[in-house]
């Protein structure tokens, strides 16, 4: 059985759309994550991921801590080693998620903050059940102080992470050195 071999692309080898994204990512982050260089093999995947990711960050109605909790919860549920490490790093360094919350999600333990606990559980539920949630589960989420718009924002995050989680599963993306301090495995 042949294993899929996805070679990393560069600004020189990628198609114009992907090349532009790789270039702007390097300017913004100082490096290009391995996931991006792999996704660049298909411009529609990389472009869709980056656009959706940015839109979620800017328009979801969640603050940076909540966004990271959702991304980590979805990555946990999808068992994505790469995204768990990357988003744990981002949670620590950029989004300023309290480490005890990030570590609780990573180890499938109880989140002590009640609102964040509900948020994580709802994101995991939507992911696990592929969007099939009961009216009671939605009402429990709303009762925690979230809105109907937030329900839709969680759906957006699940879509964004589905792009990256599924890609990383198929490509077996090598973890970037910068994320190694937060390496993770569910097993």
Q: Six-digit token pair at 153?
A: 């924002």
Domains and CATH numbers, the chain: 63-182 (1.20.1290.10)
The confidence band for 5, taking pLDDT boundaries of 50, 70 and 90, is confident
The confidence band for 2, taking pLDDT boundaries of 50, 70 and 90, is low
pTM: 0.95
Cα separation values, 115 from 4, 18, 122, 153, Å: 41, 38, 11, 16
* The predicted structure's pLDDT at residue 25: 97
Tell me: the pLDDT tens digits for 99-158?
999 999 999 999 999 999 999 999 999 999 999 999 999 999 999 999 999 999 999 999
Tell me: the pLDDT tens digits for 42-60?
999 999 999 999 999 999 9
């Amino acid at each position: 059985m042949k294993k899929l071999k996805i070679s990393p692309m560069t600004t020189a080898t990628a198609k114009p759309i992907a090349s532009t994204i790789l270039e702007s990512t390097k300017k913004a982050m100082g490096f290009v994550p391995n996931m991006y260089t792999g996704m660049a093999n298909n411009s529609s995947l990389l472009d869709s991921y980056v656009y959706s990711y940015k839109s979620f960050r800017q328009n979801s109605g969640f603050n940076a801590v909540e966004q990271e909790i959702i991304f980590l919860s979805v990555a946990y549920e999808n068992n994505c080693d790469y995204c768990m490490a990357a988003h744990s790093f981002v949670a620590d360094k950029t989004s300023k998620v309290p480490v005890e919350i990030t570590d609780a999600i990573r180890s499938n333990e109880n989140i002590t903050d009640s609102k964040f606990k509900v948020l994580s559980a709802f994101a995991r539920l939507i992911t696990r059940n592929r969007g099939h949630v009961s009216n009671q589960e939605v009402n429990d989420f709303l009762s925690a102080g979230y809105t109907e718009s937030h329900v839709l924002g969680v759906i957006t995050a699940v879509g964004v992470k589905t792009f990256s989680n599924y890609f990383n599963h198929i490509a077996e993306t090598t973890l970037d050195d910068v994320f190694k301090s937060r390496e993770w495995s569910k097993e």
